[in-house]
Amino acid sequence: MPGLRDYRFTSYWRVRGTVEEAYAALHDLASYPEWWPEVKEATRVDDKTFALRCRSTLPYDLIFHTTQAVEDPSSGILEASMTGDLEGFSRWTIRPGPEGSVMRFDEEVTTNKRSLNLLAPIARPAFKANHTLMMRHGEAGLRTFLAGLRLGRQLPPEL
The pLDDT, as a whole number, for residue 9 is 98
- Among 3.80.10.10, 3.40.50.740, 3.40.50.300, 3.30.530.20, name the CATH number for the domain at 6-151: 3.30.530.20
Which residues, 6+ apart, have CB-to-CB distance to 85 below 8 Å? 61, 62, 63, 64, 111, 112, 113, 116
Ranges of each domain in the chain: 6-151
Statement: the pTM of the whole predicted model exceeds 0.85:
yes
Q: Is the pLDDT of residue 156 over 80?
A: no
Q: What is the pLDDT of residues 92-125, one digit of tens each?
A: 999 999 999 999 999 999 999 999 999 999 999 9
CA-angle at 87, arms to 84 and 93, nearest 5°: 120
Cβ(126)–Cβ(20) below 8 Å? no
The more confidently predicted of residues 157 and 95 is: 95
Q: Minimum mean pLDDT among 19-33, 44-58, 144-158: which range?
A: 144-158
User: Across residues 137-151, what is the average pLDDT?
Assistant: 91
Average pLDDT, rounded, for the chain: 93
